[in-house]
């Protein structure tokens, strides 16, 4: 698999993972977050909405990158098609 085809796939996988992270930030209070998540605070009932928004924005940017980089390549006028 070439890098041109692998990079959008990796971006898509990371974007899906970040969407899950965003939902976890919005649903779980800080005390229930996994210990490796930034913002984990024992005994806190605070929800990290901004962390979730940041994860969502990065996920959407990665989805846009995967979408546009997976589009078929156009040839310039007069350029021969490569196989």
- Between 40 and 82, the more confident residue is 40
33 in Cβ contact with 24 (< 8 Å): yes
- For position 70, what pLDDT does the model report? 83
Q: What is the pLDDT of residues 31-81, one digit of tens each?
A: 888 888 887 777 778 888 899 999 999 999 999 999 998 877 777 676 666
Chain centroid to CA 77: 35
d(CA 56, CA 59): 5
- For position 15, what pLDDT does the model report? 97
> How does residue 11 score in pLDDT terms, banded at 50, 70 and 90?
very high
Where exactly are the structural domains of the chain? 3-69
- Between 13 and 78, the more confident residue is 13
């Amino acid at each position: 698999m070439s890098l041109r085809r692998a990079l959008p796939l990796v971006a898509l996988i990371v974007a899906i993972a970040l969407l899950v992270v965003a939902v976890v930030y919005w649903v779980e209070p800080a005390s229930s977050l996994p210990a490796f998540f930034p913002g984990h605070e024992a005994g806190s009932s605070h929800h990290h909405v901004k962390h979730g928004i940041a994860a969502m924005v990065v996920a959407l940017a990665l989805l846009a990158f995967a979408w546009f980089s997976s589009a078929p390549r156009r040839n310039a006028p007069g350029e021969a098609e490569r196989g």
